[in-house]
Amino acid sequence: MLDNELRELYQDIILDHQQDPRNFGPMENPTHHAEGFNPLCGDRIQLSLQMDGDEIQHVKFSGSGCAISTASASMMTEALTGKTRAEAEALSQGFRDLLTGQSQNAEDAEDSDPTGLGKLRVLAGVQQFPVRVKCATLAWHTLEAALQKESTTPTRTE
């Protein structure tokens, strides 16, 4: 459903994040950390979070990868800042649904945004390229791995 103008806008956003990734670099004293690797493309990412209780206060990433993986990670860090763990997990689910075509969100992108993905929806175009879907979801898989590792809080049984 993308006309050429919209497609160009989307490419501009992806290019912008690839050339000038947000929240890029190492983090001192992260509370959560994980590394991700996409062997299909060679993308590598290290993701660091600083959480205060349930809230994600800071997110940073480093590593090297293709334009899609870098832009996706950059946009993800912006989207996650200030979110709770539950909100982050919902975003992650919504994003993966979008890229695997299990969401109508891409078609409805103009006005409605039921899952709150915002400009992350620009990456919906990669669903036409299955190999690229792995690039776009790498940062999110890494996020889930990081959230599962409680590096400072002792493990509790519920």
Positions in the binding site for Zn ion (CB under 5 A): 41, 43, 66, 69, 135
- Closer Cβ to Zn ion, 45 or 51, answer by number: 45
Residue 67 CB, shortest distance to Zn ion, in Å, is 8
3-state SS, residue 52: strand
Closest separation between CB of residue 10 and Zn ion, Å?
Answer: 17
* Closer CB to Zn ion, 41 or 145, in the complex: 41
Residue 93 near residue 105, CB atoms below 8 Å: no
Neighbour-count burial of 72, counting CB atoms closer than 10 A to its CB (0-12 exposed, 13-18 middle, 19+ buried): buried
Cβ of residue 31: shortest distance to Zn ion, in angstroms?
Answer: 28
The minimum distance between CB 16 and Zn ion, in angstroms, equals: 17
By C-beta, is 34 or 135 nearer to Zn ion? 135
Q: Which is nearer to Zn ion, 30 or 36 (CB)?
A: 36
SS (H, E, C) 68-109: HHHHHHHHHHHHHCCCEHHHHHHHHHHHHHHHCCCCCCCCCC
